[in-house]
A and B are shown apart, each in its own frame.
Chain A
Amino acid sequence: MSPWLPILMAVPVVGAIVVALLPKGSDKLAKQVTLLVSLLTLVLTGVMAAGFKPNGDRFQFVAEYNWIPSFGVKFGVGVDGVALVLIALSVVLVPIVVLASWHDADGVKTADGTLITPKRSVKTYFSLLLVLETMMIGVFAATDIFLFYVFFEAMLIPMYFMIGSYGGAQRSYAAVKFLLYSLFGGMLMLVAVIGLYFVAGKQTFMFPELVGAIQDPVTQKWLFAGFFIAFAIKAPLWPVHTWLPDAAAQAPAGAAVLLVGVLDKVGTFGMLRFCLELFPDAAKAFTMPIVVLSVISIIYGAIVAIGQTDMKRLIAYTSISHFGFIVLGVFAMSGVAQSGAALYMVNHGFATGALFLAAGFLIARRGSPFIADYGGVQKVAPLLAGFFLVAGLAGLSLPGLSSFVSEFMVMIGTYSSAAHGSGALTVAAIISAVAVILAAVYILWMIQRTMNGPTAEPVKAFKDLNAREVWVLAPLVALIIGFGFYPKPLLDVINPSVQQTLTNVDVPTSTIAEKGTGQ
């Protein structure tokens, strides 16, 4: 029993209660407390992660307490490599988002002083953020499937209020759409969770004990479908992706980062952890349809992104394309592709996070999300333009930046995967490679229209990034470049865990990536 994970989960929620109980008018204090709590969580996670042994047990820092004996539910937590890096991603993003959202609830003003969004409760926003942090840690750390489900569904509520109360003009539509899509998927998953419990007949929801418990292939398929639909909505995969552009475009930039950067990863994480390992036969049987869906997502997301006029919607569509890559990697059934997919989850979080935040700073200055309202920002705000460029280039997976490594691993792993001997996966890899070109179009064209060219009249009044905003973007860009050149620390943690997954799915492990690639 290790107390690490329960402590990690307790710190933010205690912070949230403290923030919520602060007296009226202590907005500034609320922000400072939130930042402090999120930094404390980050430090604690760092200390814990330092003790992680990549080649030790699969699940480490394990803790189990009885929770609901009548249902056979335990409060079981523990992390493997993939879960650990995703928790790290979450706790790194939260303080950055806190800093980035510093003035979001104060009421957003444009450069000329018109109020776009009215002032709202600062304390509520930041305590929701901290509650969300607890749930993000919990959902990745849960080894009890019931506990995972609880966090999976419950984390919708703080995000729902963050979008609905603090978002843009269409916020209530977007928030409801987000919630209903996710709830629908979640309800189907609930049936599958209950079904898993009874069919396995082990009187437990503990994941390690349920691996391999379902033998009947037909039952596997039904249960797989229940889990997969929920995760595909969350990830989101074409054709159940339509909530994401609305939600991401209407959410405040900080919430959008957590939504796309972390919450959606729960979907791909769930596919890797639960869909594959609990229902290996079904996963293999459904590989081809899922690969087709993910290739459609890759291409469709990229093409639709090109046509967007709203920056946040554009970034949301690029994410749909990237999630296609992650799902492709997960189901390519090869070690390289799966390690790449897991790595992609982290890199995408940093890269898209940086892009959303940079776009958010841009939008806060002008009060408009539309690309056409900008032009020539580079001349007046070179720092902002510079960060925007790096984040954009990470989004199109430029070599030397972190997302290149993961995208390359997914494609090469898929290309050479022997899982479907017919070469179908090779074809999928070749088609998805087209997205690399499309990515260059959507990113560079957006940068060209906003950053370059003649300076638009309202843009001339722009101030460059202030110290707070630099502190928001600099760590992300440092991580993007750092992991671009040296992804080994992440891969060392991810690989053994992916290896374990493939062993449980019964795929020959000779295809596992040996060392970090892509330098």
Chain B
Amino acid sequence: MNPAIEAPTIEYGTLAPLLVIFGAACIGVLVEAFAPRYLRKSIQVPLTLLSLAGAFALVLVQVLRGQVSTTASAMGAIAVDGPSLFIWGVILILSFVCVLLINDEGHFVASAASVPGSADEEEAERHDNGTGHTEVYPLVLFAVGGMLLFPAAHDLLMMFVALEVMSLPLYLLCGLARRRRLLSQEASMKYFLLGAFSSAFFLYGTAMVYGFAGTVSLPGINQAMAAGNTLDPLLLIGFALLGVGLLFKIGAAPFQAWKPDVYQGAPTPITALMASGTLVAAVGAVLRVFWVGLGNLDWEWRPVIWGVAALTMIVGSILAITQTEIKRMLAYSSIAHTGFLLVGVMATYGSAQQNAESLKAILFYLAIYGIATVGAFAVLTLVRDPGGEAGHLSRWAGLGKRAPVLSGVFAFFLLAFAGIPLTSGFMGKYAIFSAALNSGTQPGDSIGGWMAGLVVVGVVASAVAAFFYVRVIVLMFFSEPAADGPAIAAPSMGTVAVIAVSLLVTVGVGLYPESVLGVANDAASSLFIR
């Protein structure tokens, strides 16, 4: 007699934000299939924005009712704990503002399948009035759904699925730029090939770790390590491969090479989404794998991450100096910031309370860095040449005289990236560095001095990074304007809202960080579900 197969328990209430996003994405696909062309945009935009807002409301409801679950949901596959909910909230806000940017005209190609420069392309452009493909919206929703699932995945297989759901739409979106299409397609191709490669690494690593632990669940792996031999080659190789896959996604050196190309080629609103949402999601996943899955292995991985973090900060800030393209420069700046985040990832050890402190710092940094990044990219979309956005730095000369408010806002975002006091960036940097130094001063931490060393590398890298941020400010404000300078596009309501919100958050958190820190603290205090 066969035992009855029990139906899996699914906590629909807890998982509601995810379900809303994926559901809306599916509806979006149906809209593409059945709605007439002229109606699609007016259906897709409200659908996308409403589903993001709805999912955010559902996250809020869970937090406000104090019902943060303490066990993993969906048969141990997804962990909707405090940090997950915080990261979800951040990603949903970031993608909401990115969708407002995407909504602007002129970013996306009219017909992605037409050969650049061909008669087909001209024909398609004549018919679409600048809206481009409306498939963008469901694709973004799928990507956002993947981003939500990625840091919340509680076993490695679910994490891999999330990784793919997040990445595949992004590969496509990168290739949809309306201007400089070859560059965009090249970016898409590179991102796809390298991304697929790194996914394979991740999957191979999962298989190895399964060979060691007999399970893919993160807490299961941790328990197996507590019981078994932590020097098992299967485990070490597995975790190295997992690390490669994850570090690729966050763009840490030496796996950072895709970032500048992809950031430059992708349509700017998509770049904004990748630089903010994807980074937040991927750092969340890194934290979960290293802190929950490999918690008992930190003797082995901390020195490795030390090197990666230091290298990432140095590579990011030094290579940024030589850039002449503003999106490439911001890409390298993003690499440098990834390094700072890795400094936070290393700040473990000690008591649970202290781990919560480090986690709080990382969550705080993710939130404010994401917001400032979206704001900076939103400004980029407004500075235009006849052939598209004015990407080359020399085109920005003297912009401060032609558009003082816009340049002032951009300068403020740059100062925030540089970590100048009274901006949110300083508070973030302070939080990360203090978490790292604190973990180094704990008795019994054998790499305490190394932590201080890493922080010194970090501050030196910040000083180097300040140079290239300041260089853009010099160009904008202290140089004479070019004779045929770029035009400043009249911003749409959406873009104004994005820039205004980002600016308010960057100023507000710089003056009074407690507002966001308090939320991050509540989210971090429960730590990850183990």
Binding site for B on A (CB under 8 A): 67-71, 121, 149-151, 153-154, 156-157, 160-161, 164-165, 171-172, 175-176, 179-180, 183-184, 187-188, 190-191, 194-195, 197-199
B433 within 8 A of A: yes
Residues B394-427 near A (CB distance < 8 A) = 404, 415, 418, 420-422, 426-427
| Among B426, B438, B463, residue most surrounded by chain A Cβ atoms (within 10 Å) | B463
Complex contact B437–A153 (CB within 8 A):
no
Give every chain B residue within 8 A of A184 (Cβ-Cβ): 460, 463
12 A-B contact pairs sorted by A residue (CB < 8 Å): A67-B512, A67-B514, A154-B420, A171-B478, A179-B470, A180-B463, A180-B470, A183-B463, A184-B460, A191-B456, A195-B441, A197-B434
Which 3 residue pairs across A and B have the least CB separation, nearest first?
A187-B459, A172-B478, A150-B421
A194/B514 contact (C-beta < 8 A), A154-B420, A164-B477, A188-B459 known? no
B518 within 8 A of A: yes
B452 within 8 A of A: yes
Give min CB distance, B337 to chain A, whole Å: 15
Complex contact A191–B477 (CB within 8 A):
no
A70 nearest in chain B by CB position = B517
Question: Which of B422, B434, B462 is within 8 Å of A71, CB to CB?
Answer: B434
Question: Which of A165, A190, A195 is within 8 Å of B477, CB to CB?
Answer: A165
B204 within 8 A of A: no
Complex contact A187–B441 (CB within 8 A):
no
Interchain CA distance A231-B329 in the complex, whole Å: 31
Given contacts A180-B466, A187-B462, A198-B441, 19 further A-B contacts (CB under 8 A): A67-B512, A68-B517, A70-B514, A71-B430, A153-B420, A153-B421, A154-B422, A161-B477, A164-B474, A164-B478, A171-B478, A176-B467, A179-B466, A179-B470, A190-B430, A191-B452, A191-B459, A194-B438, A198-B434
Residues B454-470 near A (CB distance < 8 A) = 455-456, 459-460, 462-463, 466-467, 470
Give every chain B residue within 8 A of A69 (Cβ-Cβ): 514
Interchain CA distance A172-B521 in the complex, whole Å: 42
A194/B517 contact (C-beta < 8 A), A165-B477, A165-B478, A172-B478 known? no
Task: Write the B453-494 contact mask toward A (1 if CB under 8 angstroms, else 0).
Answer: 001100110110011001100100111000000000000000
Residues B508-524 near A (CB distance < 8 A) = 512-514, 517-518, 521
Complex contact A70–B521 (CB within 8 A):
yes
Give min CB distance, A83 to chain B, whole Å: 20
Complex contact B477–A149 (CB within 8 A):
no
Give min CB distance, B376 to chain A, whole Å: 17
Give every chain A residue within 8 A of B415 (Cβ-Cβ): 157
Complex contact B513–A68 (CB within 8 A):
yes
Give every chain B residue within 8 A of A157 (Cβ-Cβ): 415, 420
Question: Which of B459, B466, B471 is within 8 Å of A190, CB to CB?
Answer: B459
Give every chain A residue within 8 A of B404 (Cβ-Cβ): 121
Give every chain B residue within 8 A of A151 (Cβ-Cβ): 421
Count contacts between A and B, CB distance < 8 Å: 92
Interchain CA distance A198-B443 in the complex, whole Å: 12
Interchain CA distance A264-B466 in the complex, whole Å: 21
B330 within 8 A of A: no
| Among B418, B421, B431, B521, residue most surrounded by chain A Cβ atoms (within 10 Å) | B421
Give min CB distance, B234 to chain A, whole Å: 39
Give every chain B residue within 8 A of A179 (Cβ-Cβ): 466, 470
Give every chain A residue within 8 A of B471 (Cβ-Cβ): 176
Complex contact A191–B455 (CB within 8 A):
yes
B360 within 8 A of A: yes
A172 nearest in chain B by CB position = B478
B423 nearest in chain A by CB position = A154
Give every chain A residue within 8 A of B430 (Cβ-Cβ): 71, 190, 194
Give every chain B residue within 8 A of A150 (Cβ-Cβ): 421-422, 426
Give min CB distance, A66 to chain B, whole Å: 8
Give every chain A residue within 8 A of B518 (Cβ-Cβ): 70
Complex contact B478–A175 (CB within 8 A):
yes
Give min CB distance, B423 to chain A, whole Å: 9
Give every chain B residue within 8 A of A194 (Cβ-Cβ): 430, 433-434, 437-438, 455
Complex contact B514–A68 (CB within 8 A):
yes
Interchain CA distance A150-B421 in the complex, whole Å: 5
Give every chain B residue within 8 A of A165 (Cβ-Cβ): 477-478
Give every chain B residue within 8 A of A149 (Cβ-Cβ): 421
Task: Write the B19-51 contact mask toward A (1 if CB under 8 angstroms, else 0).
Answer: 000000000000000000000000000000000
Complex contact B478–A191 (CB within 8 A):
no
Complex contact B474–A191 (CB within 8 A):
no
A190 nearest in chain B by CB position = B459
Complex contact B433–A190 (CB within 8 A):
yes
Give every chain A residue within 8 A of B470 (Cβ-Cβ): 160, 176, 179-180
Question: Which of A70, A176, A191 is within 8 Å of B433, CB to CB?
Answer: A191
Give every chain B residue within 8 A of A156 (Cβ-Cβ): 420
A199/B441 contact (C-beta < 8 A), A157-B415, A172-B474, A191-B433 known? yes
Interchain CA distance A448-B433 in the complex, whole Å: 55
Give every chain A residue within 8 A of B360 (Cβ-Cβ): 70
| Among A68, A121, A179, A194, residue most surrounded by chain B Cβ atoms (within 10 Å) | A194
Complex contact A175–B474 (CB within 8 A):
yes
Give min CB distance, A34 to chain B, whole Å: 19
Interchain CA distance A199-B443 in the complex, whole Å: 11
Complex contact A180–B467 (CB within 8 A):
yes
A120 nearest in chain B by CB position = B401
A164 nearest in chain B by CB position = B478
Interchain CA distance A191-B441 in the complex, whole Å: 13
Interchain CA distance A385-B426 in the complex, whole Å: 47
A197 nearest in chain B by CB position = B434
Complex contact A191–B420 (CB within 8 A):
no
Interchain CA distance A172-B459 in the complex, whole Å: 24
Complex contact B479–A172 (CB within 8 A):
yes
Give min CB distance, A249 to chain B, whole Å: 16
Give min CB distance, A155 to chain B, whole Å: 9
Give every chain A residue within 8 A of B418 (Cβ-Cβ): 183
Interchain CA distance A164-B404 in the complex, whole Å: 15
Interchain CA distance A34-B463 in the complex, whole Å: 34
Give min CB distance, B408 to chain A, whole Å: 9
Interchain CA distance A465-B518 in the complex, whole Å: 58
Question: Which of A68, A121, A187 is within 8 Å of B460, CB to CB?
Answer: A187
